[in-house]
């Protein structure tokens, strides 16, 4: 199966990407997800098939999700999320505990 895929970058999270069929755009993406995703900024167009290698996503899962749901959400790499969580925790540890 070959799919022409439009990949969008999230305006809210630099590591979040949305893969959509080019002919459908974001029309199949649930509204709640689009609100969390923010503005969908076009990043690139790729022709995907089972032989294609992707840097941060499993091509089989991407193709299956595109076929079943019409989109695939790529979340930021775990290391980036851990670093962001650590930064939040460091700020929280400095809050007045009310004592």
pLDDT digits (tens, 9 = 90+) for 72-99: 999 987 755 555 556 666 666 555 555 4
Helices in the chain by DSSP H: which ranges? 31-37, 59-68, 78-92
Task: Quote the domain boundaries for residue 59.
Answer: 3-92
Stated pTM of the model = 0.76
The reply to whether 35 falls in a domain is yes
Inside any domain, residue 97: no
Which tens digits make up the pLDDT trace of 16-63? 999 999 999 999 999 999 999 999 999 999 999 999 999 889 999 999
Number of domains in the chain: 1
Phi-psi region of 83 (alpha: psi -120 to 50; beta: other; left: phi over 0): alpha
User: Tell me, what CATH number does 7's domain have?
Assistant: 3.10.510.20
Residue 68 located in a structural domain: yes
């Amino acid at each position: 199966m070959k799919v022409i895929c439009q990949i969008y970058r999230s305006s809210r999270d630099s590591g979040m990407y949305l893969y959509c069929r080019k002919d459908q755009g974001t029309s199949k993406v649930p509204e709640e997800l689009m609100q969390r995703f923010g503005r969908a900024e076009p990043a690139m167009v790729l022709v995907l098939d089972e032989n294609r290698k992707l840097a941060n996503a499993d091509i089989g899962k991407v193709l299956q999700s595109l076929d079943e749901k019409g989109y695939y959400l790529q979340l930021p790499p775990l290391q980036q999320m851990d670093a962001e969580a650590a930064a939040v925790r460091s700020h929280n540890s400095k809050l007045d505990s009310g004592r």
